[in-house]
Structure 1
Amino acid sequence: MVFLPGTPSTQNLVPTEYFGTSIYAAPVMGIVISIVVFVMDYMFYNWAVKDCAKKGEYFEVSEDEEIIDINNEEVMKSLPSPIKAFLPLIILIISIFIFQKKVGIPNYAVVLSMTLTIVISIFLFNNILNIKESLSNGFSDGLNALMITSFIMGFGKVVTSSPTYQMTTQWLLGLNMSPLLLMFISINIICMITGSSLGGLEIYLNSMSKYLLETGINLEVLHRLSAIASAGLDAMPHASGVVLANSVAKTNMGDTYKYTFVSQCLIPMVGYGLAVILFKLGIV
């Protein structure tokens, strides 16, 4: 989500506050890297599935999970058509673009677009979903995410205000390191500590955005690269997203994390390196 321009992810929104950019910053770079990372992840998981099959490891259904036969015509008739299923996503993308032009403030544009999409989705899938239950679960999950984010932001404010952090920042700046390399290392270290891409990105930009602005690097490039950098070491075993994914899938961290680390840490970091190369080639 952080690679592709126009996505409503918070990591794509945060840089707009510091660089005055839009969520469509560095479109060519973002689209190219998104495709490359997708292909790399696809190839890796194809290899992983085949490797597991060789070891005799296959998908296991939990006791409380329901198996649906997709070849059953009655089952397929109860599902929405592909066009209807993709319509909310299409509406979201188009409305973000329109509101971005009309409102001008990325945060407001995304909120308005998502609100519009949710309302339309309620009418589209009213006969399929339990709307009351869906809204209740949505509010509950949203509140949990908000609380976690608030805790991380509070932690970040405390860290950036400490003398040790200020001394470390000054020491890093004194190394005369490439600004893009410094950004990559710093954001990933903070992401690793907090277990959050949003936390790492927010904490770093809150203290280092002024320095980045003084480098003279294209602001759209800074936006896209900082967002991409936050997708590196954020997927640590203690990250809430990783823990939640294992909880939902009813899997063991010890069995799944090696795949998570490659697809969610290593490959995105390779993507950052490729994005820097595109920038050096003038492809933005």
Structure 2
Amino acid sequence: MLGNLGLIAGVTLLIYLALRGINIFIAALVCALVVALTNGMLISQTFLEFFPFGPLGAFTFAGKFFLLFLCGAIFGKVMATSQAAKSIALSITRALGVRHTLLVGMVVCALLTYGGVVVFVVVFTMYPLGITLMREANLPKRLWAAATSVGAGTFTMTALPGTPSIHNVISASSLGTDLFAGGWIGIFAALLMAGLGMWYVESQWKRAQARGEGFVENAQDRRMEQLIGDPNDAPVWWMALIPMVVVLGSIMLPRAILGMADWSESDGIVARVLLFSASQPIIWPSISLILGSLTCVVLFPALRRKAAQAFGQGADDSIMPLLNTAAVIGFGGVVTQTAGFAQFADWILNVDLPPLLSVFASVSVVSAIVGSSSGGLQIFMQSLGPHYIEMGVDPEILHRIAAIAAGGLDSLPHCGAVIATFMIMGITHKEAYRDIFVVTVAVPVIACLASIALLMSLGMGMVS
């Protein structure tokens, strides 16, 4: 009884501390201590084994995915430094116009994140540009936050096949699938998320206009607007897209070629490269991101002069997101050692639910506990994923449904990405969280459940 109360207290405290802005490393360690003390766990074992180096240890995760975080952050940095990301944003803004400000925000963020630019870079890049659009359109800031979250933090993160996102890579590396697993159901879910999300923010804008709510400038906006620079310094839009095409093309092309013939018996260098790309869900996307970064250096002379600096800053930028995610996974690694978690796992695996609904429930609960979709997905894949494979769930369907489910209840108020977005935009949970909840929690949950319903209606998801 005390152990279960300690689990609840640890999770509740983690949410509270995150909302209070307490450093996530400190919060995760304090909450792990609460769980350990109330569950009779050895302190030395908790902090020297379970938290750092266990199967779900913080540094176990950080070591495995360090290269991907590093390469993704470097690519995001060179796209920002070369102003290629700004060029893409400005071009879409000119094409769609101020009247479609919300659509501009969603489309640009979706394009950049699907192309391999990390979420925090996208939000930081888009917000200074968004200030001008919001001012001209008299758009409430909370709705810009919601629209950009639809593009950067939902379907491109978890649903669309082929993306080098950490969620796609976690599923592929855990299940032995590839980045395109469950592609068609992912596209279905992505269309639902984009459609419902944009319907919501557009309808809320109409209501805001009717009651006279509009853009309210603050000191943060004036500081961020200074980062825009001269639009004439940005490269032309079609050239700015080339690095992203290189990233996605180098991921997709080997898959397309492998599908044309059986290369398993071939011994040439092309065959070895193709087979390597299919068997390395962490290494290959990392290589693709570096190829995109080098393409930026070749194409943009302004970047060439400070390429080493940009690569170095990108490497520095990778550390905090990696360690933040690792910290919540380390907390989860302690939680999974408790009797209460074992009881939950036993219950969820034996409850009278269709397997895919059971997957949805278990991933959602774990992601909600740690406030991180990637953290929740990693914990699920390590602790519960193998059981669903043994039950006969198709690995490709499990890959996609688990990834989509992880992107729902992760975005509760203590989610690091939500907190960072509000800090960048200078707004509070009270002002904007309701809209964020709808587009990043409610809509992804609806899309995931609709995808499961479609799969069940077609008799899919289980190995025949």
TM-score (norm 1): 0.90
Asked whether the equivalents of residues 297 and 303 of structure 2 are also in contact (C-alpha less than 8 Å), the reply is no
Q: Distance in 1 between matches of 2:245 and 2:457?
A: 32
Considering fraction of residues, name the structure with more helix.
2
Q: 2:168 aligns with which of 9, 12, 24?
A: 12
Give the partner amino acid of 1:65.
M
How many Å apart are 1:98 and its aligned residue? Answer: 3.9
Structure 2 residue aligned with 1:90:
245
TM-score, normalised to structure 2's length? Answer: 0.56
- Structure 1 residues 128 and 50: CA distance shift in structure 2, 3 A: farther
Match of 1:47 among 191, 195, 203: 203
**Residue 283 (structure 2) aligns with:** 108
Give the % identical residues.
26
Partner of residue 315 from structure 2, selected from 102, 115, 139: 139
Contact 1:99 1:109 (8 Å CA) reproduced: no
Deviations 1:1-35 (A, max 9, x none): 21000111111111112321101001111112212
**Could you list the runs of 5+ residues in structure 2 that have no partner in the other structure?**
1-156, 256-273
Q: Give me the whole-angstrom Cα distance separating, in 2, the residues matched to 1:80 and 1:215.
A: 52
* Secondary structure of 1:184's aligned partner: helix
* Cα distance in 1, alignment partners of residues 206 and 178 from structure 2: 41
Q: What does residue 63 of structure 1 align with?
A: 222
Q: What pairs up with 1:151-166 in 2 under 5 angstroms?
A: 151-166=327-342
Shift of 1:160: 1.2
Residue 246 of structure 1 contacts residue 253 of structure 1 at CA under 8 Å; is this kept in 2?
yes
Check the 8 A contact 2:329/2:370 in 1, yes or no: no
Verify the 8 A CA contact 1:6 1:24 in the aligned structure 2: yes
Q: Distance in 2 between matches of 1:252 and 1:7?
A: 31
Q: Which ranges of 4 or more aligned residues in structure 1 deviate by more than 6 Å? A: none
Query: Partner of 2:18 in structure 1?
Result: none
Q: Tell me which moved more, 52-61 or 27-36.
A: 52-61
Aligned-partner Cα distance in 1 for 2:252–2:448: 25
Deviation, structure 1 residue 132: 5.6
1:188 and 1:233 in contact (8 A); partners too: yes
- Per-residue deviation at 1:102? 4.1
List runs of 5+ in structure 1 lacking aligned partners. Answer: none
1: CA distance, partners of 2:315 / 2:455: 40
In 2, the alpha carbon distance for the partners of 1:180 and 1:275 equals 10
| CA apart distance, 1:76 | 4.8
Larger mean CA deviation between 174-183 and 188-197 belongs to 174-183
Q: Report the AA paired with residue 52 of structure 1.
A: A
Instruction: Indicate whether 1:23 and 2:179 are aligned.
Output: yes
Q: Secondary structure at the match of 1:64?
A: helix
CA distance in 1, matches of 2:309, 2:214: 33
Of 123-132 and 5-14, more deviation after overlay is shown by: 123-132
Q: CA separation in 2, counterparts of 1:227 and 1:144?
A: 23
Query: What does residue 80 of structure 2 align with?
Result: none
Q: How many residues align?
A: 280
1:274 correspondence with 2:440:
no
| CA–CA separation in structure 1 for the residues paired with 2:429 and 2:399 | 33
Of 432, 439, 447 in structure 2, the residue corresponding to residue 263 of structure 1 is 439
RMSD: 2.4
Distance (Å, rounded) in 2 between the aligned partners of 1:132 and 1:244: 27
> Shift of the alpha carbon at 1:245?
0.4
Greater shift, 237-246 or 167-176, is seen at 167-176
Between Structure 1 and Structure 2, whose CA radius of gyration is higher? 2
